[in-house]
Amino acid sequence: MKLQPLDFEKPIFELERKLEDLKRHSRAQDINLDPEVKRMQAKIEEMKRETYDKLTAWQRVQIARHPQRPYTLDYFSSAFTDFIELHGDRLFGDDKAMPAGLATIGDHRCVVVGHQKGRELKENLKRNFGSAHPEGYRKALRMMRLGEKFGLPVIALIDTPGAYPGVGAEERHISEAIAVNLREMMVLKTPIISVVIGEGGSGGALGIGVADRVLMLENAYYSVISPEGCAAILWKHRSHAPEAAEALKLTARDLEELKLIDEVIPEPLGGAHQDHEQTATILKKTIVKHLKKLTEMPIEKLLAQRYAKFRKMGEFAGDVSKNGT
Partner 1 sequence: MPIFKKPDFRSESKKRDMPEGLFQKCPGCGEVIHHLALAENQRICPKCDFHFSQTARERLEHLLDPESFEEHDAQMVSVDTLKFKGMATYTDRLKTYQKKTGLKDAVITGTGKIEALPVAIAVMDFNFIAATMGSVVGEKLARIVETGTSERLPVIIISASGGARMYEGALSLMQMAKTCGALALHAQAKLPYISILTHPTTGGVSASFATVGDVILAEPKAMIGFAGPRVIRETTHQDLPPNFQTAEFLEEHGLIDMIVHRKKMRSTIADLLKYLAPKK
Residue 14: burial class (beta carbons within 10 Å; 0-12, 13-18, 19+): exposed
DSSP of 234-278: HSSSGGGHHHHHHHHT-BHHHHHHTTSSSEEEP--TT-GGG-HHH
What is the distance between the alpha carbons of residues 102 and 100, in angstroms, rounded to a whole number? 7
235 vs 200: CA distance, rounded Å: 22
**Minimum gap (Å) between residue 2 Cβ and partner 1:** 30
The amino acid that residue 304 corresponds to is A
Which residue's CB is nearer to partner 1, number 226 or number 274? 226
User: Which residues neighbour 185 within 8 Å (Cβ) at sequence distance 6 or greater?
Assistant: 141, 144, 192, 208, 210, 211
Q: CA torsion sign, 123 to 124 to 129 to 135? A: negative
Q: Over 64-85, what HEC string results?
A: HCCCCCCCHHHHHHHCCEEEEE
Nearer to partner 1, 90 or 173 (CB): 173
How many Å apart are CA 236 and CA 171, to the nearest integer?
30
* Residues contributing to the site for partner 1 (CB under 8 A): 163-167, 169-171, 173-176, 178-180, 182-184, 186-187, 202-203, 206-207, 209-210, 222-225, 230, 233-236, 243-244, 247-250, 255, 258, 260, 307, 310-311, 313-321, 323-325
Residue number, 122 or 316, with CB nearest to partner 1: 316
125 SS3 class:
helix
Q: Which residues lie across from 201 on neighbouring strands?
A: 223
Q: How many other β-carbons are positioned within 10 Å of the β-carbon of residue 21?
A: 10
